[in-house]
Structure formats: C-alpha cells, structure tokens
Amino acid sequence: PSKFSKDVYQETEVPGVAVGLAWTSVGGDILFIESSASEGKGKLTLTGNLGDVMKESASTALTYIKSKATELGIDPGSFAEKDIHIHIPEGAIPKDGPSAGITMLTSLVSLFQGITVKPYLAMTGEITLRGKVLPVGGIKEKVLAAKRSGIKEIILCEKNKKNIKEIDDRYLEGLKFHYVSNMMDVLDIALEGRS
C-alpha cells in the first residue's frame, strides 16, 4: 500500500470510525465518520457542519440499532445511560444529504460492539428504519475520490450497480464492489470477523 492508503488504514484503527463517500461543494471526497459514547442520559450530539437531512440519517441509524439491539449483541438498557456524539471532520465544509446513512450505521455499531471497521473500505447509501439500503447520487465522483484516497473496497446499494457499469473500467481497477440491499449486509461486510 502507498503511504496515503496507510494513512487511511491508521485513521480507522479505533472502533467507531468508518469511511464514507461524499459529494460536497468541493467534489467527491472521503469522509471519516466518528462516533463516541460517554456516560450520560441518551443525548445524541451531531457535529461537523451537518445539514438537517444528514442529521436525520444519524437519528434513523440510532433508532434502527435500538430496534435490533439484541440481534446485534448490544445491551438495550445501555442507550439510556450513554450520550452519543457523531462527528464528521472537516468543520469548514458544509455537508448534507442522506447518503452517509450506512456509514453512520457502521460507525455506531462498530462503537457499540467495540470492534474496528475493515480497513481500506468505504461506503455510501441511504438507510431506512426497516433496514433497507437505498441508492444515492454522485457515484462516479465518489468512486474516483475513493480510489485517489487508497480505498480498496466499496459498499453500494444494489440499485447503484448500474452507475458503476457506466464508469470506464480503467478507473475501477484495484477496487472491489459489494452490492447490498439490506443494512445487516453492510454490517456483515464491514465488521465481520473483526475485533
């Protein structure tokens, strides 16, 4: 791996950090989504210059996790005793839209389970409360940004497969794609077999 991709690896070597793909005013980019928990009363804090729709994704991810707590091996009683903080650097860049949903989900489950996310993996996709993954826009720009940053695997919604087919093959070299339709599939790929 290049020095840059080593950076990406090290950035995610703590539980609670996942790599998303975004399409902001400065073009395609990777986003580190960071979650942290501390003793509290169930408050959710969201920082990093996030718009309302992106904040709603965080709320939706958290409700989904609560509804699947037992299945995910998380103590359902623990949510009321913790404050959760999700931060997305870089604060100077406004961020919005629903596409960070699966990354927020992965970041939170990684935190609650105490296991790190698979390295060199990025993802983008909207989430729903019943566990579906929905397609998002800006796929080409996001994939190019992922490659530039040393990412090797990307999780996308199955309905975004058609957007990958439209990209010239030479840009996709060295990238492995995972197509999913269900949020549990995302977690299987991102967290399975890790500690």
Residues 168-187 close enough to bind a second copy by CB under 8 A = none
Residues 117-136: x where in contact with Ca ion by CB under 5 A, - otherwise, as a string: -------x------------
How many Å apart are CA 164 and CA 173, to the nearest integer? 12
Q: Does 163 bind Ca ion (CB under 5 A)?
A: no
- At 78, list the tokens: 């623990």
CB atoms within 10 A of CB 3: 7
Q: Does 167 bind a second copy (CB under 8 A)?
A: no
Identify which of residues 140 and 175 has a Cβ nearer to a second copy in the complex: 140
Burial of 17 (0-12, 13-18, 19+ CB in 10 A): buried
Q: Does 80 bind a second copy (CB under 8 A)?
A: yes
How many Å apart are CA 125 and CA 100, to the nearest integer? 6
Q: Does residue 110 come out as left (phi exceeding 0), alpha (psi in the -120 to 50 range) or beta?
A: alpha
Residues that bind a second copy (CB under 8 A): 11, 14, 16-17, 32, 34-40, 42, 45, 47-49, 52-53, 56-57, 59-60, 63-64, 66-67, 76-77, 79-80, 83, 85, 87, 89-92, 97-98, 101, 126, 128-132, 134, 137
